[in-house]
Amino acid sequence: MNVTIVDYNSGNISSVINSFKEVAKDKVNIKVTADLATIKTSDKVVLPGQGSFKSCIDGLKNISGLMDTLNEFALESKKPLLGICVGLQMFADIGYEETETKGLGWISGKVSKIDNQDGKFKLPHIGWNEINITKESKIFKGIENKSHMYFVHSYEFLPEDKSVISATTDYSSNVVCAAEKENIFGTQFHPEKSDKTGLKIIENFINL
């Protein structure tokens, strides 16, 4: 099996790479590339994201054919894809970080700044927070509800269809921290930085 982590200059993704390789061991071939042919022939794709919504979308656009290839992989071939942090946010139609930016449009919704309630909640939201699993999900197999995951973000994904939400976390409000639609999965938290529980989520995705 081939799992490709898309490297499109979205920031330091070494922890994502290391965690996937740790879980995969020698059983799964982990590739790190933006090569279109490699992505097309992969069994699964991971879309990491660090930085702003705009910078990540720009990073995808700067590689000729990458957006089309990801659309084909996720929407036509319907093979499993995992978005992490801004990788999840880019599923939305539109994001408002830095400036209004069009997203991938895979899951209808928008990405807006978390309401910090006049400074009551610090932004960015950094650190461990409890997640509330709201529906059965293959990537949460063996994960206990109220587990703690590691977050670093100031913006939240607000999907139009609430049925795509698979987990939330309480930070100022019920912030969506995991969403899925058919073969498309995303986490706002960083499973690669969430200790053994996060590695279990990575294992679940690899085993889909």
Residues labelled catalytic:
85, 190, 192
Q: Cβ distance 30 to 21 under 8 Å? A: yes
Cα R_g (the chain), whole angstroms: 16
The secondary structure of residue 192, as a DSSP letter, is G
Cα–Cα distances (Å) from 188 to 25, 34, 37, 90, 95, in that order, read 25, 22, 28, 11, 14
Question: In angstroms, rounded to a whole number, what is the distance separating the alpha carbons of residues 106 and 90?
Answer: 8
Question: In angstroms, rounded to a whole number, what is the distance separating the alpha carbons of residues 60 and 8?
Answer: 6
Q: Which of helix, strand or coil describes residue 2?
A: strand
The secondary structure of residue 75, as a DSSP letter, is I
- Encoded tokens for 193: 């930085």
- Encoded tokens for 35: 């090569």
